[in-house]
């Protein structure tokens, strides 16, 4: 990041296919909504959600509601982490992920704060984790790009390229990563014409390909374990169908900041075994998970969820995913 003070000359808008979009923002947007429910006591404001299916564009002929846009940028943190900063209305997020993430396995932690955002910048206090105070400078007119967080729409969103100046100061808990920046390339995404919902769908690597034939129903299985405590919780899910996938999520708050961490991985079919009678399910996910676990049913129908399975979140933190406190289920998986 360079501390330049001179605005570069405007460039001509690039063709639509060249507009930069970050696939990882789909994860962050979904995480922000979940964490916002936590820090807002479960009451999502109309300002954050907008009209059904997204906020309506402003301008002539519309009500006086502010135009919902999404300013966003990416910077590098220490120790190989990437920070994706994004905002919608009063929700500002910093998504932290290691550079080793792939479509088959990865982890991330999203920090969520209340703030102010719009077409001119992002401003939010992340308290003990830092702050974001940025002004946006456009460098070209809006151009059509790929849908940043939709369910596969084709018309795309209008994206304004540019750069941000100001201050980003971030410190992860325990010092696992940090970043300070005063200038960064970024963009502002205007409301997409297809009115995409705020929560993204297509980024989930566990989603099945509808064109792929599924295995026999008796071999498809779902396993879940959920532990809820106060305003936070811990969730693990395994699915064996066309893909064999694993997902863990932890959500809660640290002071006034919402945190949502997740792990995901695709594995071989042998990493999730069970029987046609649905009497047990054993999982041994690949990294970033460690260990294994078994959910079994006793003679009286009681379930036990035991093993050494843990999730590893950014910073190397390990969180146990088994124990009597989890509410569990094991069932056949149907399309």
List, for residues 265-319, the tens digit of each pLDDT value.
Answer: 999 999 999 988 888 999 999 999 999 999 998 777 788 999 999 999 998 889 9
Same domain, 124 and 231: no
DSSP result, 273-320: EE-TT--EEEE---TT-BS-EEEEE-TTS-EEEEE--EEEETTTEEEE
Q: 203 Cβ partners below 8 Å, 6+ apart?
A: 23, 24, 26, 27, 30, 149
Mean pLDDT of 203-215: 63
Interatomic CA distance for residues 310 and 320, integer angstroms? 4
Q: Examine the fold and report which residue of 171, 189, 207 is the final residue of a domain before the chain moves on.
A: 189
* Residue listed under structure tokens 């001119």: 120
Same domain, 232 and 165: no
Q: Examine the fold and report which residue of 189, 208, 228 is the final residue of a domain before the chain moves on.
A: 189
Same domain, 23 and 171: yes
Same domain, 123 and 257: no
Same domain, 183 and 222: no
Q: Is residue 70 part of a domain?
A: yes
Interatomic CA distance for residues 129 and 89, integer angstroms? 21
Mean pLDDT of 203-214: 62
Same domain, 311 and 180: no
- Structurally, the chain folds into a number of domains equal to 2
Q: 299 Cβ partners below 8 Å, 6+ apart?
A: none
What average pLDDT does the chain have?
A: 76
Confidence of residue 334 (pLDDT cuts 50, 70, 90): low
Interatomic CA distance for residues 335 and 330, integer angstroms? 16
Same domain, 116 and 162: yes
Interatomic CA distance for residues 267 and 194, integer angstroms? 35
Q: Is residue 206 part of a domain?
A: no
Q: What is the pLDDT of residue 40?
A: 40
Reported as a single tens digit per residue, the pLDDT across 5-48 is 444 444 443 333 333 333 343 344 444 444 444 334 333 222 22
Same domain, 50 and 164: yes
Q: Is residue 6 part of a domain?
A: no
pTM of the model: 0.76
Single out the residue of 210, 221, 244 nearest to residue 331, CA to CA. Answer: 221
Mean pLDDT of 243-256: 93
Interatomic CA distance for residues 202 and 23, integer angstroms? 9
- Alpha-helical runs (H) found in the chain: 24-39, 46-49
Confidence of residue 163 (pLDDT cuts 50, 70, 90): very high
Contact 51, 197 (CB under 8 A): no
Same domain, 67 and 177: yes
Q: Is residue 290 part of a domain?
A: yes
Q: 308 Cβ partners below 8 Å, 6+ apart?
A: 290, 291, 292, 293, 322
The DSSP element (H or E) to which 3 belongs, if any, is: none
Same domain, 152 and 271: no
- How many residues does the structure list for the chain? 335
Domain that holds residue 104: 16-189
Q: Is residue 178 part of a domain?
A: yes
Mean pLDDT of 236-264: 92
Q: Is residue 194 part of a domain?
A: no
Q: Is residue 94 part of a domain?
A: yes
Same domain, 83 and 120: yes
Same domain, 122 and 69: yes
Residue 18's φ and ψ, nearest 5 degrees, are -100, -5
């Amino acid at each position: 990041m360079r501390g330049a003070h001179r605005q570069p000359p405007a460039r001509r808008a690039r063709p639509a296919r060249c507009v930069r979009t970050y696939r990882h923002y789909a994860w962050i947007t979904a995480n922000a909504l979940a964490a916002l429910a936590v820090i807002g006591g479960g009451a999502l404001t109309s300002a954050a959600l907008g009209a059904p299916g997204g906020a309506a564009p402003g301008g002539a002929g519309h009500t006086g509601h502010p135009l919902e846009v999404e300013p966003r940028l990416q910077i590098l943190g220490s120790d190989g982490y990437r920070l994706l900063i994004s905002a919608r209305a009063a929700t500002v997020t910093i998504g932290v992920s290691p550079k080793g993430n792939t479509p088959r396995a990865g982890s991330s932690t999203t920090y969520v704060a209340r703030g102010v955002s719009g077409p001119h910048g992002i401003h939010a206090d992340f308290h003990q984790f830092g702050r974001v105070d940025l002004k946006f400078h456009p460098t070209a007119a809006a151009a059509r790009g790929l849908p940043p967080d939709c369910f596969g729409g084709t018309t795309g969103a209008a994206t304004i390229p540019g750069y941000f100046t100001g201050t980003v100061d971030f410190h992860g808990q325990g010092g696992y990563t940090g970043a300070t920046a005063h200038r960064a390339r970024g963009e502002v995404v205007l409301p997409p014409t297809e009115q995409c919902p705020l929560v993204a769908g297509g980024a989930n690597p566990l989603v099945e390909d509808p064109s792929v034939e599924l295995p026999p129903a008796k071999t498809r299985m779902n396993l879940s374990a959920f532990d809820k405590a106060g305003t936070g919780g811990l969730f693990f899910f395994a699915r064996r169908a066309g893909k064999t996938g694993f997902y863990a999520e932890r959500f809660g708050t640290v002071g006034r900041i919402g945190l949502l961490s997740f792990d995901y991985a695709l594995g071989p079919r042998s990493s999730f075994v069970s029987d046609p009678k649905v009497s047990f399910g054993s999982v041994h996910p690949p990294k970033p998970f460690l260990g294994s676990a078994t959910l079994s049913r006793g003679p009286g129908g009681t379930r036990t969820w035991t093993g050494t399975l843990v999730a590893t979140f950014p910073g190397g933190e390990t969180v146990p995913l088994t124990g009597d406190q989890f509410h569990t289920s094991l069932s056949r998986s149907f399309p």
